[in-house]
Amino acid sequence: MKSEKLKVKNPKLCIALDNPSKEENLKLINELKEYADNLWLKVGFRSYIRDGNDFIKYLKDMEYNIFLDLKLYDIPNTMADAALEIAKLGVDMFNVHASAGKRAMQEVIKRLQNLKKRPLVLAVTALTSFDDEEFKKIYSKSIKEKAKEFAIDAYESGLDGVVCSVYESKEIKEATNQNFITLTPGIRPFKEESEDQKRVADIKTAKSNLVDFIVVGRPIYKSKNPKKVVEKILKEILWKNFYYH
C-alpha cells in the first residue's frame, strides 16, 4: 500500500463470551441487550462445544453480531466444508488459520462465494499468547515478520482480514489495504493484568494502530458491573479521531 494518509476508524467492540457456564453468558448478554447494535459477541471453543447451535440462534434472535472463533485448520476440502456449515448458522464472521496455506483459504472463499450473503472470513496469524521466542521455535521467523506474510497470503486468497495483535495491525494494512480488517484480541482497555496474554494493549494503542475490532473478555465478564465497563469502553472508543501518516 502506498504512503497515503490513513484515517483512524473507531474500532468495534467484540466481547468474548468465555464464562464458565451458559447461564453466566446469558446473564451477561441480557444485561447488555440495549447495546446490541454496537457490540459483537465472540463465541469460542468452550462456549460453542458446550452450548451448541441453539446458543448461536439465541444470540442472533437477540440481534447481536456473532464472531464464531473456531480457527479452522485442516486440509482444504475439509475446511471448506466446515466453512459452509458455519455460514448456514447465520454467524456474521468466523476465522481460519493462515498457516493452513493459501490453497485452503482460497477453497474456503470459493465454497462461500455463491451464498446470497456470506460471513466475513478472517485468518489467524499469530496467537497473542505467543512471545517472540516461542513463536520462532515453531515458525522460524519473528511474529511481526511472519504475521505480515500470513496477512498477505490471506489478502491474496480473498479473505476479509486477519486476527493479529495490535502491534502488527498498522504494518499489515500498509502491506495489504486500509479496508483489510484487523481484529485484535488481548485488549486490556484500562491497563488491567495481561494474565495468559503476552502481547496486550489498551484502546488508545489499538486506535493508533488502525485496528478495526477489539476483543475484550475478562475485563468485562469478570467485572461486578459489566454494563458500566462496556459503557466506559464505548466512550473510550469514540474518543476523537486523529491521523496516521
DSSP conformation class of 222: T
Catalytic residue among 12, 42, 71, 148: 71
> How far, in Å, CA of 179 to CA of 40, rounded?
19
Q: Is 71 tagged catalytic?
A: yes
Amino acid at 147: A
CB 72 within 8 A of CB 79: yes
> How far, in Å, CA of 245 to CA of 128, rounded?
26
CB 186 within 8 A of CB 199: yes
CA 3 to each of CA 24, 68, 173, 176, 187: distance values in angstroms, whole numbers, following the listed order = 46, 34, 11, 12, 27
Contacts 24+ apart (CB under 8 A), 236-239: 236/189, 236/203, 236/204, 237/10, 237/11, 237/13, 237/203, 237/207, 238/10, 239/203, 239/204, 239/207
Residues found in the chain: 245
Q: What angle do CA 238, 243, 245 make, to 5 degrees?
A: 155
Look up cell 461486578; give the residue: 224
For residue 6, the cross-strand partners are 244
Catalytic site positions: 71
